[in-house]
Chains A and B, each alone.
Chain A
Amino acid sequence: GNSVTQMEGPVTLSEEAFLTINCTYTATGYPSLFWYVQYPGEGLQLLLKATKADDKGSNKGFEATYRKETTSFHLEKGSVQVSDSAVYFCALGTNAGKSTFGDGTTLTVKP
């Protein structure tokens, strides 16, 4: 079956540090890949997505590239801010209907 494995947290960084959160997946077929972000007291919201191999999704300074050869979709940001503190979920979706989510990685950015 489909599965998503993402870097265990929590991750604590200083403001302006470089962020990487690793995500690898197992899927049949050609999934779409997503990163969602969840701020305290809110639901998950889409951060970025990529629908085919070598696509790069980007939003708010975050980037992730769909790597079919390594079945990965690592999230990166060059300079994090305190406001980026949240829980980040990697997910995949196929035409079967539902998505498969990773366990989430908690990021705390300190000033």
Chain B
Amino acid sequence: DAGVIQSPRHEVTEMGQEVTLRCKPISGHDYLFWYRQTMMRGLELLIYFNNNVPIDDSGMPEDRFSAKMPNASFSTLKIQPSEPRDSAVYFCASSLGRGSQPQHFGDGTRLSIL
């Protein structure tokens, strides 16, 4: 079974550029989560979707961040414009059913904003 697939694995770009992170969840999973992980702040939930609909985006740090899920097999997290403090590892995860089920994580995108 294919797991959660994220792309790119690494991204290095200059401040002010637009960054788009991509995620393909496990087929059949109806929940999708975006997380950010840094040494200083640990693992933070940014936003999550249920059946392609955003349920809670209270963790999105600023209006520079946006996320979409146009269909059940694809989601994007966009940062525009990017800033050095956005440098982090961004994880996508999916699960089948509600929070009582485990989440399956991708290997993450390591983002560096210069």
Q: Is A82 an interface residue (CB 8 A)?
A: no
Is A43 within 8 A of B91, CB to CB? Answer: yes
Contacting A96 at CB < 8 Å: which of B45, B98, B101?
B98
A81-106: CB near B (< 8 Å → 1, else 0) gives 00000000100111111110101100
Contacting A32 at CB < 8 Å: which of B50, B56, B100, B105?
B100
Is B42 within 8 A of A97, CB to CB? Answer: no
Is A43 within 8 A of B101, CB to CB? Answer: no
What is the number of residues of chain B that contact chain A, defined by CB distance less than 8 Å? 23
Q: Is B11 an interface residue (CB 8 A)?
A: no
Is A94 within 8 A of B99, CB to CB? Answer: yes
Q: Is B112 an interface residue (CB 8 A)?
A: no
Q: Is B83 an interface residue (CB 8 A)?
A: no
Is A99 within 8 A of B55, CB to CB? Answer: no
Is A43 within 8 A of B98, CB to CB? Answer: no
Q: Is A51 an interface residue (CB 8 A)?
A: yes
A26-59: CB near B (< 8 Å → 1, else 0) gives 0000011010100001111110010100000000
The DSSP consensus for interface residues of chain B is: strand
B45-56: CB near A (< 8 Å → 1, else 0) gives 100101000011
How far is A18 from B100 in the complex, measured between Cα atoms in Å? 29
Is A43 within 8 A of B108, CB to CB? Answer: yes
Interface magnitude class on chain A: 20 to 34
Contacts A43-B106, A43-B107; A104 near B43 (Cβ below 8 A): yes
What are the residues of chain B within 8 A of A104 when measuring CB–CB? 42-43
How far is A46 from B106 in the complex, measured between Cα atoms in Å? 12
Q: Is B102 an interface residue (CB 8 A)?
A: yes
Residue ranges of B at the interface with A (Cβ–Cβ < 8 Å): 4, 31, 33, 42-43, 45, 48, 50, 55-56, 91, 93, 98-108
Residue ranges of A at the interface with B (Cβ–Cβ < 8 Å): 31-32, 34, 36, 41-46, 49, 51, 89, 92-99, 101, 103-104
